[in-house]
Amino acid sequence: MAGRGIEVTATEPAREQVLGQIMRVLPEAVGVTADVTVHLARRVHERPRPGR
């Protein structure tokens, strides 16, 4: 079913387990890069636009 979003609701312990497995595989740099990207995206989104 390509193109359709599937919403999966996991229990908190299951979510933590999956997150733990992901973090063991990914290097720490990926998390840091993601944090910086989110921070910059929020700044751009919150910055007042000229003429508004």
Residue-level pLDDT, tens digit, the chain, 52 residues: 455 565 556 678 888 888 788 778 877 777 788 888 888 888 877 777 776 5
Predicted local confidence at residue 1, as pLDDT:
42
Predicted local confidence at residue 5, as pLDDT:
60
Predicted local confidence at residue 52, as pLDDT:
59
DSSP 1: -
Q: Both ends of the chain: CA-CA distance in Å?
A: 41
